[in-house]
């Protein structure tokens, strides 16, 4: 492929070992400049899925991987710590499988499976919070743009501050 691609490893879910990457590629859609997303396996040089939106590219790659590998071959990814604080509280629930609502999945994938604040990896069915960047108490709402995935630790530390205040206050205390 000649077009430049930006690659980021994917963590969480069936992409847990970081073997797969999400790549973006400039594209022209209906005469407009846009970006297409693809899930690739850089080591093999293979492309698993291509879509005009990230959620769809991830979803079809995930489906493909689920279908192609027996459940027994799936290995839980190693726990990764956040760059700023470790998120140890979350790991105990990481191995439990439970049903995750569509809305929660959307928030999770939009946040790339990481805590919005400390960037630690989250398990989609683990204990993470759909966090209001602008708290309800300060007039925030449940609109998708106001919701981000957050680890339990950041969620409990943030309390009623806005996302901006939280990040700023955290910077001051270091």
Question: What is the rounded CA–CA span in Å between residue 123 and residue 100?
Answer: 11
**Out of 21, 23, 122, 154, the residue judged to bind Zn ion by CB under 5 A:** 154
**Out of 148, 151, 152, 163, the residue judged to bind Zn ion by CB under 5 A:** 151
Q: Which is nearer to Zn ion, 62 or 80 (CB)?
A: 80
118 interacts with Zn ion by CB under 5 A = yes
107 interacts with Zn ion by CB under 5 A = no
**Out of 14, 115, 129, 148, the residue judged to bind Zn ion by CB under 5 A:** 115
Measured in whole angstroms, how far is the alpha carbon of residue 1 from the centre of its chain? 26
Contacts with Zn ion by CB under 5 A: the residue count is 5
Q: Which residue has the tokens 């928030």?
A: 107
Q: Which is nearer to Zn ion, 77 or 82 (CB)?
A: 82
Give the nearest distance from C-beta 79 to Zn ion in angstroms: 14
- Helix residue ranges per DSSP H, the chain: 54-68, 88-91, 102-110, 152-158, 163-172
Q: Which is nearer to Zn ion, 65 or 90 (CB)?
A: 90
129 interacts with Zn ion by CB under 5 A = no
Token output for 104: 């929660």
Phi and psi for 157 in degrees, rounded to 5? -75, -30
Question: What is the rounded CA–CA span in Å between residue 56 and residue 75?
Answer: 23
Q: Which residue has the tokens 């946040």?
A: 111
- For binding to Zn ion (CB under 5 A), which residues are involved? 115, 117-118, 151, 154
């Amino acid at each position: 492929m000649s077009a430049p691609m930006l690659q980021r490893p994917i963590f969480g879910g069936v992409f847990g070992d970081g073997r797969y990457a999400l790549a973006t590629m400039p594209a022209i859609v209906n005469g407009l400049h846009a970006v297409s997303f693809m899930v690739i396996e850089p080591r093999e040089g293979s492309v698993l899925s291509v879509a005009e939106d990230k959620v769809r590219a991830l979803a079809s790659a995930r489906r493909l991987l689920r279908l192609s590998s027996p459940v027994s071959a799936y290995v839980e990814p190693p726990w990764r710590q956040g760059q700023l604080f470790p998120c140890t509280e979350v790991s105990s629930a990481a191995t439990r499988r439970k049903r995750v609502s569509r809305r929660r999945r959307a928030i999770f994938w939009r946040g790339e499976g990481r805590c919005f604040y400390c960037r630690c990896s989250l398990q989609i069915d683990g204990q993470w919070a759909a966090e209001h960047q602008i708290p309800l108490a300060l007039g925030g709402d449940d609109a998708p743009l106001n919701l981000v995935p957050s680890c339990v630790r950041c969620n409990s530390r943030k309390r009623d501050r806005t996302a901006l205040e939280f990040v700023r206050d955290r910077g001051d205390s270091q």
